[in-house]
Amino acid sequence: MNFPLEIEGLLKEIDGDFVPPLSSSVDLTEYSNKLYNKATIFSVHDKGALVAVMAVYCTDAVNRVAYGTMLAVAATHRIYGLGPNLIKSTLDFLKKSEFKVFRLEIYKTNPRVITLYRRLGFSIASETDTSVFVEKKLDE
């Protein structure tokens, strides 16, 4: 199967988990293609189906800052710890690639995810009315 289509299928499956739905702010087809073409992607397949993906932009080579743009885990596979494992794999990769900081934005409507990242050692860098920006220094 075509990997961008697999990403799009997973994003459609979890679209309603976002408040507001992800599809209300981005075109899922375009976003899936953008991730495929511009992000470093960590993924998990089960029986040939994409069940989890972590997408990170590793484009700031000067400051060595990576930006997480998407963590998606199929509802049927959330009990297996795939999200935390993908985050840990991402952190390992970024450290080996000599990145200094990993940052990402989390909507305040998703407190479970904020708790997950805090539990993994991320700190809150800033907040807006709708989002929390977390980061982890990788040289510690």
Share of the chain above pLDDT 90, in %: 92
Structural domains of the chain, count: 1
- Domain containing residue 22: CATH number: 3.40.630.30
pLDDT in tens, 116-127: 999 999 999 999
The pLDDT value recorded for residue 15 is 95
What's the mean per-residue pLDDT of the chain?
A: 95
* pLDDT tier at 18, thresholds 50, 70, 90: confident
Strand order in the sheet with 65-73: 40-46, 49-60, 65-73, 101-107, 131-137, 123-127
Mean pLDDT confidence for 6-15: 97
**What's the rounded Cα separation, in Å, for the pair 66 and 91?**
10
Tell me the residue range of the domain where 22 lies.
Answer: 3-137
pLDDT score of 22 more than 70? yes
Whether pLDDT at 34 is above 80 = yes
Confidence (pLDDT) at 19: 85
Query: What is the rounded average pLDDT of the residues 11-38?
Result: 95
